[in-house]
Each structure stands twice: as C-alpha cells, then as structure tokens.
C-alpha cells in the first residue's frame, strides 16, 4: 500500500486566507465604527502572516515561517478575545494605550529619549481626545499567554510558542540546523506549517463569521 501523500499545507492555508479576505470585502461600504475598524485591522494582521506562510519564496526558510506562525498563534488568542464580546473588544482597543504608556515609562529611565517621550505623550493625548476613553494608570498589558490561560489552553499555547520561538529567533539551534537541510525540509518546515494551519483553520472562520455578522447588522 502506498503511503498517503503529504497534505499541501500552503494550499490549505491560502484557501483559508481567501475566505477571510472575501469576508473583509463585505465591509467595504459599511459605516465607519471603531468595532468594524478593529475587526478589519485584526483580519489584516492575520492575512499578512497567512500570505507570508503561503509565499513560495520562503521555501524552507524556517525563520520566516516560524515568525509568521508565532504571530498567528498570538493573533489567534487576541482574535478570539475581541470577538467574544463588545466589552473585551473595547478592552483590546484600549490596550494600545496601555502598551504604549508602558513603553514610554521604560524610555523615561533614559535621558537620551527625552524628545521621544514628549512626542509619545502628545500621541497619547491625541488618542485620548479623539479615539478612546482614559484607562486606569495600573491597567496591565493584555497578553496572548494570559488569554490562553483564561481559556484553559496554557499548555497548547506554551508548547507551540516554545517550538516556534526556537526558529523565529536567532539561536544556536536555528542557525546551525541549516546544515541539516533534509531534517529541516522533512520535519521542521512541515511541523511549522501544520501548527499554523491548525491555528488558521480555527481563527479565520471565527473572524470571518463575526465580520459577516457586522456587515449585515452594523
């Protein structure tokens, strides 16, 4: 008996990407609203990384593929969080300010960044004035890991993140394993693509469904 042919991960990934893009296109003439904008932004980030995985130019570039797959892992949990409720969508939207403020607090420790701090504070003031409500000073930054823990999926997140990070970042392993191309092609690349496909197959239909709901009932 002949072994079953290996699945064409890239073709399956690309198919999911096209379905999500079709859903986004339904919002082309939708009234402007912060929730609609946020869904489009999330879809855009998901699609960028989806098409990165499907790009044949990346071939056996484990670093590029692992980086895109790890992005999709974090986007998976952020996407689920946002589409769960309006309250959570609003919390994610406001996290931009929380995260940026955390960055400015870190830069404030170095006098060399004084001009950057002034410009950064002006950006925060503008966003507060025109786009968002003020958030509490000690509000923690949202993390994909924390969201995964809320869903009882910390092991899945941790294992996937650990594996993908080993190839997304320059490490002794990621640099020297290139000498073993047969292993990279036969094991590492298919594993990265399989993880990414599972995430995409779960995330994209959820997000596309929510987008289509909004396009019908804005």
Domain assignments of the chain as residue spans, ordered by start = 9-216
Residue at token pair 């940026």:
100
Residue 19, pLDDT score: 95
User: Residue 31: exposed, middle, or buried by beta-carbon count in 10 A (0-12, 13-18, 19+)?
Assistant: exposed
Residue 134, pLDDT score: 57
State which residues of the chain have pLDDT below 50. 1-5
| The two structure tokens encoding residue 92 | 């994610």
Total residues found in the chain within this entry: 218
15-30 residue pLDDT tens? 999 999 999 999 888 8
155-186 residue pLDDT tens? 999 999 999 999 999 888 888 877 777 777 77
Torsion, Cα 51 173 161 191, to 10 degrees, reads 60
Task: For the full predicted model, state whether its pTM sits above 0.95.
Answer: no
| Complete DSSP assignment for 158-201 | HHHHHHHHHHHS--HHHHHGGGGHHHIIIIIHHHHHHHHHHHHH
Rounded Cα gap, residues 139 and 124, in angstroms: 15
Cα 141 → chain centroid: 16
Residue 188, pLDDT score: 86
Query: Which helix (H) or strand (E) is 117 found in, with range?
Result: helix 114-130
Residue 5, pLDDT score: 45
Residue 133, pLDDT score: 59
Query: Which helix (H) or strand (E) is 97 found in, with range?
Result: helix 86-107
Residue 214, pLDDT score: 86
| The two structure tokens encoding residue 39 | 């869904």
Residue 176, pLDDT score: 83
Residue 111, pLDDT score: 84
| The two structure tokens encoding residue 114 | 């004084």
Residue 47, pLDDT score: 96
């Amino acid at each position: 008996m002949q072994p079953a042919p290996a699945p064409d991960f890239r073709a399956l990934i690309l198919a999911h990407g096209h379905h999500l893009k079709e859903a986004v296109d339904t919002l082309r003439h939708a009234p402007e609203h912060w929730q609609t904008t946020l869904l489009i932004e999330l879809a855009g980030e998901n699609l960028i990384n989806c098409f990165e995985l499907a790009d044949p130019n990346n071939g056996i570039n484990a670093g590029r593929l692992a980086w895109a797959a790890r992005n999709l892992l974090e986007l998976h949990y952020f996407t689920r969080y946002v589409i769960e409720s309006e309250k959570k969508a609003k919390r994610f939207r406001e996290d931009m300010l929380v995260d940026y403020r955390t960055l400015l607090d870190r830069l404030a420790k170095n006098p060399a960044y004084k001009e950057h701090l002034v410009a950064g504070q002006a950006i925060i003031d503008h966003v507060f004035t025109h786009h968002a409500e003020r958030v509490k000073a000690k509000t923690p930054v949202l993390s994909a890991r924390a969201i995964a823990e809320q869903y009882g999926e910390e092991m899945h997140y941790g294992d996937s993140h650990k594996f993908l990070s080993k190839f997304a970042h320059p490490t002794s392993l990621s640099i020297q394993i290139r000498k073993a191309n047969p292993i990279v092609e036969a094991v590492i690349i298919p594993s990265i693509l399989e993880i990414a496909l599972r995430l995409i197959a779960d995330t994209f239909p959820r997000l596309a469904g929510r987008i289509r709901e909004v396009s019908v009932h804005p």
